[in-house]
Amino acid sequence: MNVKPVWKFLAIVFVSVLTVCSAVTCYFDLDGSVEVKDIWRMREYSGENGFVIMLPRENELPAIANGIVHGVEDQNSQTQEEIPPVVSEPPLPSWQPSGEYTEIDRLILVNKEYPVDQNYIPADLVQLEYRASNRSAEWQVMTREAADAFNQLCSDALLEGYEIVVTTAYRSYEFQSYLYNSYVEKDGQAAADMYSAQPGKSEHQTGLAADVSSPSVQYRLTSEYGDTAEGKWLSENCYKYGFILRYPKGKEEITGYIYEPWHIRYVGQEAAKEIWETGVALEEYLGKVPDSMSTETNYSAAIDEIADDDR
User: 154-212: per-residue pLDDT in tens?
Assistant: 999 999 999 999 999 999 999 999 999 999 999 999 999 999 999 999 999 999 999 99
Please work out, in degrees rounded to the nearest 5, the angle formed at the alpha carbon of residue 163 by the alpha carbons of 162 and 166: 135
Asked if 284 and 148 sit in the same domain, the reply is yes
Low-confidence spans in the chain with pLDDT less than 70: 1-87, 292-311
> What average pLDDT is seen over the chain?
81
User: Are residues 64 and 167 both part of a single domain?
Assistant: no
Name the domain boundary from 28, 46, 81: 81
Domain boundary among 81, 109, 137: 81
Q: Which domain holds residue 26?
A: 4-81
- Do the domain assignments include residue 107? no
Is position 102 within any domain?
no
Query: Do 189 and 75 belong together in one domain?
Result: no
Mind listing the pLDDT tens digit for each residue in 32-45?
A: 443 444 433 445 54
Residues 42 and 187 in one domain: no
Tally of CB atoms within 10 A around 166: 25
Please tell me the distance from the alpha carbon of residue 269 to that of residue 243, in angstroms, as a whole number.
Answer: 7
Among 185, 260, 277, 284, the one annotated catalytic? 260
CATH code at position 253: 3.30.1380.10
Domain boundary among 54, 81, 108: 81
Active site residue 73: no
Report how many domains make up the chain.
Answer: 2
